[in-house]
Amino acid sequence: MPVNERLLELASRCEQATGPDRELDIAIAEKVLGWGKWPKGPAPKVTASLDAAMTLVPEDGRIELKSEFSDGPDTPLEWWAALAPGYMQQRVRTEGRTAALALCAAALKARASTAEE
């Protein structure tokens, strides 16, 4: 599978996740952060921590994070992340159940837009 398709697949998994996911953390760490088969430590918890998710954002990225509060107990809180790195022509917008998941999805989509096949 080409790199950009793999990154988009990981972004989609972030958007669909209902909370932190260690399997997804590991897949992202392997694909994006170069975390290999014999890592020196555990994969960063990018789907659980906003600070860890920031490590996926390109250095010159501009981030906008917003949330929509639920209308009632049966409506989940949703987060939106928009990322506009300096090297991108278009802004990437995603959503997720948590701020970290939304930011992960946006960063992965931004990377996919510039990844070589």
User: pLDDT at position 111, please?
Assistant: 85
The pTM score is 0.83
- Buried-exposed string 17-29: b where 16+ CB fall within 10 A, e elsewhere: beebbeebbbbbb
The encoded tokens of residue 53 equal: 């998710």
User: Tens place of pLDDT for every residue, the chain, 117 residues?
Assistant: 788 899 999 999 999 999 999 999 999 999 888 887 666 778 899 999 999 999 898 777 778 888 876 666 665 567 878 777 555 556 777 888 888 999 999 889 888 877 765
Q: Look at residue 104 in the predicted model and tell me its pLDDT.
A: 93
Which pLDDT does position 116 carry in this prediction? 64
Which CATH number, 1.10.10.10, 3.30.2120.10, 3.10.129.10, 3.40.50.2300, labels domain 3-114? 3.30.2120.10
Domain boundaries, the chain: 3-114
Helix, strand, coil % in the chain, rounded to nearest 5: 40, 15, 45
pLDDT of residue 83: 72
* 101 SS3 class: helix
State the greatest distance between any 2 C-alpha atoms of the chain, in Å, as a whole number.
46
Instruction: List, in order, residues 6 or more apart from 78 with CB less than 8 Å away.
Output: 67, 68, 95, 96, 97
SS3 call for 54: helix
Q: How far apart are CA 110 and CA 103, in angstroms?
A: 10
